[in-house]
Amino acid sequence: MRFGQVFEGTVVQVPRPGAIGIFVDIGLSVGGFVDALLLPMESDDWPMEGTVADFEIWWADSRQQIRLKPCDSRYLRDDFTDFMGWFRPDWPSRIGQPIPEP
């Protein structure tokens, strides 16, 4: 798997809208998760359970979970470009790089 790799996924759980994020099934043995920080400020604009959309690998660490970023701008925070510059300024250079083994 590589950073920026896109998967079609289904939102399977939105446990606390506006608070923690959404769980996404991307058809792998590990779970997918989109952090609330990447989603729109208004939880009414978040994808609902059952929504099928494209998601890209945004982050991976020692947890058995892949952090995802929605590809559809409707499901991203309004200031995503600025946010990316603050939080992951190296993101463009990471796209296509292999995800390190845990």
| pLDDT values of the chain reduced to their tens digit, one per residue, 102 residues | 899 999 999 999 999 877 899 999 999 888 899 999 999 999 999 999 999 999 999 988 777 789 999 999 999 999 999 999 998 899 889 999 998 776
CA distance to 80, 100, per residue, from 34 (Å): 14, 19
Sketch the domain layout of the chain as residue ranges.
6-89
Say what the pLDDT of residue 74 is. 96
Say what the pLDDT of residue 21 is. 95
Amino acid identity at 22? I
CATH of domain 6-89: 2.40.50.140
Say what the pLDDT of residue 102 is. 61
Q: Which two tokens stand for residue 93?
A: 């250079």
pTM above 0.85, yes or no: yes
Q: Give strand pairing partners of 35.
A: 21
